[in-house]
Structure 1
């Protein structure tokens, strides 16, 4: 294998590189709720994180992810001074800037992956030498969950990416640009599937911690006014349902060999159910908007209508 450099989206390479037999050890300062997908560890592995009160309150390290690893038999330790991001297997080492979090999949991170025995040994020695270590157990997790509920996501240098994992920060403040669009079912091309797999973690299975947020994609075939930070409310193609707001979290990504089509990535709240379009229209009428044009794709110019649409899901 030798030594290779991977950036700015290295996590697919990291996940693949550490999929080897034998015990692995990792010192990854901040692990978000998506960490088990990015960093799939198993019984016998060791994970050192920064699960200090500050990191947990800032929603940089997720107690749910730590609990998942504990349930898998991983030995989890916390060091409040840890800022490194290194991993060692029996044959490879990963050294770089990538935290195990959804933010990292959108940040411009980079890593070196090598099978140099001296580097592998040095990474293991570094991890073994980390001091101020606290064993993470169920009592630790219970306390961390309380800190998580108290806190909110705040910027931590080198941690927060293009968006943060909180309800308060899910939507722009204020919401000044909103679109109503019909959801269109289609089968992505192989090129689109490749683009969608690059920046986002694999979909969660039934195992592991429950995550409120998911990433979806939006293909637009013709020039569009959509841009990063916009809020989109989708309506089903049959005009039966209206879906909770989605936030555009990327710039347009050109789809090769598509005739000019582009792809946007959207962040959605997976815990918010769709509503009947007729019920939504009635609720909006009660809020003073008897003609919200939910069956027509349009840019929502009215600030009060934007606010009313958000209240359908208690935003």
Structure 2
């Protein structure tokens, strides 16, 4: 293989390079919700991250993803001084700037992938010598979740901030992709439930304002066009109700042992109510959209129809 350079979108090359037998050592400073797809680690691998208080409060490292890797029997450790991003497999070394997050995908990142044995040995030595190491366990994750909830996403290119851009307003701007989709009830797997529990803000135990936003999940069992930033308008299975728009706030997260199924996180407004579907269809017909197809799952191509649907909730 030799030595190759990959940028500005190195993650497809990284993911491909580390799909190999044998234990992997990874020192990746910051992890977003997309990390399991970008960095497919398994039992026996070692992952060192920066899950310091500063990183957690900046939403640069997700406690839910730490829990995910622990559930996969990956040994996870945290070092507050870690800023590098390197990986060592049994025959390749990856060295570069890419964090395991969707923010890295949008940034100008680059890596070198090499099979040079001297460099591979030096990368392993570097990882072995990272100091101020703490084992990540459930107690660590519980504390990390509290720090996450205290903080907020900050605009650090390549690390965090992309989520904040999406969440600054409820709907993305401009809104160009909307889907009509029927609600499908299913029971969350233990992995899905754990990720949801870690990401969902804890309920208040004291008086205070009612939360305006809530995190929900969407499981998709078949290949789908849905991606981060899309808006989904759900319809009840019995075609009686149409629900307020939900915004997709994560790339697909592969669900282990689920036959290729993926999980998306959705952000919803708790102050908006569902509307009767028949009445909504009548209103759309009056507005010049007699063929709104609200009873069929589809991609809403018409900008005017997207606008009319959002107007139902004054959005």
Contact (CA 8 Å) 1:181, 1:298: kept in 2 or not?
no
Q: Give me the whole-angstrom Cα distance separating, in 2, the residues matched to 1:38 and 1:176.
A: 27
Residue 304 of structure 2 corresponds to which residue in structure 1?
299
Structure 1 residue runs without a partner (length 5+): 184-204, 219-227, 250-267, 311-315
Contact (CA 8 Å) 2:24, 2:45: kept in 1 or not?
yes
Give a deviation string over 1:110-151, Cα, whole Å, max 9, x none.
211110011111111111111222221111100011112222
Residue 31 of structure 2 corresponds to which residue in structure 1?
31
- Note the C-alpha offset of 1:90: 1.5
Flag the 1:45–1:170 CA change in 2: closer, same or farther, 3 A: farther
Residue 194 of structure 1 corresponds to which residue in structure 2?
none
Q: Give me the whole-angstrom Cα distance separating, in 1, the residues matched to 2:137 and 2:143.
A: 10
Q: Give me the whole-angstrom Cα distance separating, in 1, the residues matched to 2:307 and 2:22.
A: 59
Q: CA RMSD in A?
A: 4.6
- Using structure 1 for the length normalisation, give the TM-score: 0.64
Contact (CA 8 Å) 1:235, 1:294: kept in 2 or not?
no
Tell me whether 1:65 sits opposite 2:65 in the alignment.
yes
Q: Give me the whole-angstrom Cα distance separating, in 1, the residues matched to 2:177 and 2:24.
A: 47
Q: Give me the whole-angstrom Cα distance separating, in 2, the residues matched to 1:57 and 1:283.
A: 42
Contact (CA 8 Å) 1:180, 1:299: kept in 2 or not?
no
- Note the C-alpha offset of 1:299: 3.3
Aligned length: 258
Residue 198 of structure 1 corresponds to which residue in structure 2?
none
- Note the C-alpha offset of 1:78: 1.0
- Note the C-alpha offset of 1:277: 8.5
- Using structure 2 for the length normalisation, give the TM-score: 0.64
Q: Give me the whole-angstrom Cα distance separating, in 2, the residues matched to 1:248 and 1:22.
A: 34
Flag the 1:51–1:27 CA change in 2: closer, same or farther, 3 A: same
Residue 195 of structure 1 corresponds to which residue in structure 2?
none
Q: Give me the whole-angstrom Cα distance separating, in 1, the residues matched to 2:27 and 2:178.
A: 44
Residue 190 of structure 1 corresponds to which residue in structure 2?
none
Alignment of 1:97-116 (within 5 A): 97-116=97-116
Alignment of 1:213-232 (within 5 A): 217=225
Residue 259 of structure 2 corresponds to which residue in structure 1?
none
- Note the C-alpha offset of 1:269: 4.9
SS of the residue corresponding to residue 308 of structure 1 reads coil
Alignment of 1:1-315 (within 5 A): 1-160=1-160, 163-164=162-163, 168-169=167-168, 171=170, 207=191, 210=195, 217=225, 244-246=245-247, 269-270=265-266, 279=276, 297-299=302-304, 306=311, 308-310=313-315
- Note the C-alpha offset of 1:300: 7.4
